């Protein structure tokens, strides 16, 4: 069994100069493909259940799916709740076998974000589970604009919450389909100069590949969340499988042709964050 907590995979990454892929899952086919990719590359992986995933699959079911996949490989696999918005949701994830929870209080005033994140971090740690928090709101493509992370507030947040990882807003955007954004490296350096908590980039699909690799190896960014990039591969492969035969209706046969392209795409993502 290779089930691991977030801290167990991020601390070695921070120490040795690489990052771990937080791969956003929507269903069985992609989470199985991500685990297969991690095993093939010999690298850890973080399987993430975000709001879209939880919308149609309950947390207790997702917990069992993640743990089953972790037991099937030799590399570390983290079962991670992404963007939990309430203490009840985070508690349910912990009770469902998740090894890591991310509480997103980034829209709240600083003091409220710190207080609620600290409460959830304490709850998680009491159960041997890791906790990620977010300081500075990461916006959405064609949606709410980002509010950049203030380095001094980040240091206070890390110090007072006790989180194991800290998501920051440094030019990254959720659901970005191109890789033209780039990250504010000066702000990243300013943040890491006053706190040693592993840093997390949400919206990693929009970050140029070369910059991902560079920052993984030269900064305290130890986790890149990748979702849209892999969803696009899934959608393209699914469309091709369906269009190949207009009379086809067997979902098992169709989906069996989708998994290999996702495995290859996930392997490229993980390799791009690996040690030099």
Rounded to whole angstroms, how far apart are CA atoms 260 and 237? Answer: 9
- List 82, 104, 150, 164, catalytic entry: 82
pLDDT of residue 251: 87
Question: What are the extents of the domains in the chain?
Answer: 3-271
pLDDT of residue 144: 54
pLDDT of residue 22: 98
Write the burial class of residue 59 (CB in 10 Å: 0-12 exposed, 13-18 middle, 19+ buried). Answer: buried
Q: Per-residue confidence of the chain (276 residues) as pLDDT tens digits?
A: 599 999 999 999 999 999 999 999 999 999 999 999 999 999 999 999 999 999 989 999 999 999 999 999 999 999 999 999 999 999 999 999 999 999 999 889 999 999 999 999 999 999 999 999 999 876 665 555 556 788 999 999 999 999 999 999 887 665 555 556 678 899 999 999 999 999 999 988 888 889 899 999 999 999 999 998 999 999 999 999 898 888 888 888 888 889 999 999 999 999 999 998
pLDDT of residue 208: 86
* pTM attached to this predicted model: 0.94
pLDDT of residue 175: 53
pLDDT of residue 184: 83
The CATH architecture to which 3-271 belongs is Alpha-Beta Barrel (3.20)
Write the burial class of residue 149 (CB in 10 Å: 0-12 exposed, 13-18 middle, 19+ buried). Answer: buried
- Residue 82 annotated among the catalytic residues of the structure: yes
b/e string for 225-247 if b means 16 or more Cβ within 10 A? bbbbbbbebbeebbeebeeeeee
| Token pair of 40 as six digits | 């093939």
pLDDT of residue 244: 86
pLDDT of residue 132: 98
């Amino acid at each position: 069994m290779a089930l691991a907590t977030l801290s167990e995979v991020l601390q070695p990454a921070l120490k040795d100069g690489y990052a771990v892929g937080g791969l956003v899952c929507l269903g069985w086919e992609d989470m199985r493909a991500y685990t297969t990719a991690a095993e093939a590359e010999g690298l850890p992986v973080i399987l993430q259940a975000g709001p879209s995933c939880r919308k149609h699959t309950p947390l207790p079911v997702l917990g069992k799916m993640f743990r089953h996949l972790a037991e099937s490989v030799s590399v570390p696999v983290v079962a991670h709740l992404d963007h939990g918005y309430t203490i009840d949701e985070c508690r349910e994830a912990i009770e469902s076998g998740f090894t890591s929870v991310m509480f997103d209080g980034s829209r709240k005033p600083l003091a409220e974000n710190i207080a609620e994140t600290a409460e959830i971090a304490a709850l998680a740690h009491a159960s041997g589970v890791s906790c990620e928090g977010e300081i500075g709101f990461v916006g959405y493509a064609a949606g709410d604009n980002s509010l950049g992370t203030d380095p001094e507030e980040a240091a206070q947040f890390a110090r007072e919450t006790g989180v194991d990882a800290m998501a920051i807003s440094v030019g990254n955007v959720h659901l970005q389909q191109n890789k033209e954004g780039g990250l504010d490296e000066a702000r990243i350096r300013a943040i890491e100069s006053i706190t040693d908590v592993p840093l997390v980039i949400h919206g990693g699909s929009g970050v140029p590949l070369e910059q991902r690799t560079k920052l993984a190896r030269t900064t305290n960014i130890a986790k890149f969340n990748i979702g849209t990039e892999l969803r696009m591969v899934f959608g393209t492969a699914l469309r091709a499988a369906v269009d190949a035969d207009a009379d086809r209706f067997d979902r098992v046969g169709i989906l069996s042709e989708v998994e290999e392209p996702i495995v290859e795409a996930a392997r490229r993502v993980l390799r791009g964050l690996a040690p030099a």
